[in-house]
């Protein structure tokens, strides 16, 4: 597999959901066309842009200018950076601001930011006036390949991540790969964990390609747009087949059961970014799969080595300030959304590119595994 040259025209990936189908438009410099795209999609609509302080400094002016040039009115709603904004308090603030901006059901919310903003703005859109449509303009690699697509929205609870929310599909996703140029290296690497996830869970050939081409993804070579398009096509296909995660879509949570517990244990803080937690979780999922003899140790090490090689944490000792204890981790795992009637569900693997849903995983075996890893 090789990366094609950049396309002169944007790549469009369709998410096929009957009357709620929408396009993911992928290309460089697309934010300049945002106003024209919104005007064509929803003539006469007003907009409210939800973003965070850092993204506002880099990209809000360009977003507002693009809307203004197309004659699209906009209001701005700026919240604090970070996972802490996925809270009841910030959700209330955003909802009230959307209402104060007189956004009606025929108007649009624009989620300009990473996964936190997409989840928060999407959930507010699902809730205000019992449902306002929204457009995703993801500004991080993680959001561009994963969280902006598929309609999962929500905020965090004190009991765990993303436990309060709704399925609410966007009406369009505009993926401007140039926005990634302003990302700090750590943030980009965290997003790359979700890129690698698509290879590890269901596309061994793509994972092999990433092992050879990851530096081009990081540098902004044509490999970057190729990788984003591959991930979006994979996500779109899964969402079209299982929108509400009753089956196959759960595979996209590879690494997330361990990862969400570690992220919550670190206080949803800068100690451990979401993508870093997913990388750690995927390494643990592969190692646990090896422990129960689903795969060989060499295959688990191959997955771990690639994640570590791009600068992601893969051992519990890599968490600044230390990992949570085994009791806390097990309590947090028990709150995972995939738990059914108290039985643990993990996404495990039978090989690279061969993830599956493992129901009724033995909690005692997970506890023993984590205890060993924490030594």
Active site residues: 130, 152, 194, 235, 245, 249, 253, 256, 260, 274
Taking phi first (over 0 means left), then psi (-120 to 50 degrees means alpha), and beta for anything else, what does residue 311 get?
left
Helix spans in the chain (H): 34-41, 53-55, 61-69, 88-100, 115-127, 141-142, 185-202, 204-219, 222-241, 256-265, 274-291, 297-309, 326-333, 363-373
Q: Which two tokens stand for residue 194?
A: 């979700």
Helix (H) or strand (E) holding 24: strand 22-27
* Residue 208 φ/ψ region, left for φ over 0, alpha for ψ in the -120 to 50 degree band, beta for the rest: alpha
Tokens found for residue 293:
């003899």
Q: Residues 6 or more apart from 211 whose CB is under 8 A from it?
A: 306
d(CA 264, CA 269): 9
Per-residue exposure over 223-256, b if at least 16 CB sit within 10 Å of its own CB, e if not: bbbbbbbbbbbbbbebbbebbebeeebbbbbbbb
Angle between helix 274-291 and helix 185-202 axes, rounded to 10 deg:
30
> Could you give the C-alpha distances from 234 to 15, 122, 193, 223, 367, in angstroms and in order?
10, 21, 15, 17, 33
User: Count of alpha carbons within 13 Å of 55, Cβ hemisphere only?
Assistant: 28
Q: From residue 53, how far is each of 25, 180, 183 by CA, in Å?
A: 25, 16, 14
Phi–psi pair at 281, nearest 5 degrees: -65, -40
- For the CA atoms of 114, 116, 119, 125, the dihedral, rounded to the nearest 10 degrees, stands at -90
Q: How many angstroms separate the CA atoms of 362 and 347, rounded?
A: 13
Beta carbons of 144 and 233 less than 8 angstroms apart: no
For 85, phi then psi, to 5°, come to: -80, -10
């Amino acid at each position: 597999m090789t990366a094609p040259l950049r396309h002169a025209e944007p790549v469009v990936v369709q998410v096929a959901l009957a009357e709620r189908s929408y396009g993911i438009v992928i290309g460089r410099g697309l934010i300049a066309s945002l106003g024209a795209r919104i005007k064509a999609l929803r003539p006469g609509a007003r907009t409210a842009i939800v973003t965070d302080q850092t993204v506002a400094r880099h990209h809000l002016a360009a977003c507002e200018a693009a809307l203004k040039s197309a004659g699209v009115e906009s209001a701005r709603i700026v919240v604090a950076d970070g996972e802490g904004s996925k809270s009841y308090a910030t959700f209330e603030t955003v909802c009230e601001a959307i209402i104060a901006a007189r956004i009606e059901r025929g108007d649009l919310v624009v989620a300009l930011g990473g996964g936190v903003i997409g989840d928060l703005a999407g959930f507010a859109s699902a809730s205000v006036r019992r449902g306002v449509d929204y457009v995703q303009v993801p500004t991080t690699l993680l959001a561009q390949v994963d969280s902006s697509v598929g309609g999962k929205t929500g905020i965090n609870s004190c009991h765990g991540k993303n436990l309060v929310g709704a399925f609410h599909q966007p009406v369009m996703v505009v993926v401007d790969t140039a926005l990634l140029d302003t990302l700090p290296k750590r943030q980009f690497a965290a997003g790359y964990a979700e890129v690698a996830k698509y290879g590890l869970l269901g596309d061994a050939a793509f994972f092999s390609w990433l092992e050879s081409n990851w530096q081009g993804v990081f540098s902004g070579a044509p490999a970057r747009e190729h990788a984003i398009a591959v991930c979006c096509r994979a996500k779109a296909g899964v969402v079209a087949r299982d929108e509400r995660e009753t089956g196959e879509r759960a595979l996209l949570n590879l690494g997330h059961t361990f990862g969400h517990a570690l992220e919550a244990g670190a206080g949803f803080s800068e100690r451990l970014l979401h993508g870093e937690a997913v990388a750690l979780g995927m390494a643990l999922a592969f190692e646990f799969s090896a422990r129960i003899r689903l795969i060989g140790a060499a295959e688990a090490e191959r997955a771990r080595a690639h994640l570590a090689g791009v600068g992601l944490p893969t051992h519990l000792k890599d968490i600044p300030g230390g990992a949570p204890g085994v009791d806390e981790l097990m309590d947090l795992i028990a709150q995972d959304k995939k738990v059914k009637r108290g039985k643990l569900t993990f996404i495990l693997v039978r090989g690279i590119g061969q993830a599956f849903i493992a129901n009724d995983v033995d909690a005692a075996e997970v506890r023993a595994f984590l205890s060993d890893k924490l030594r």
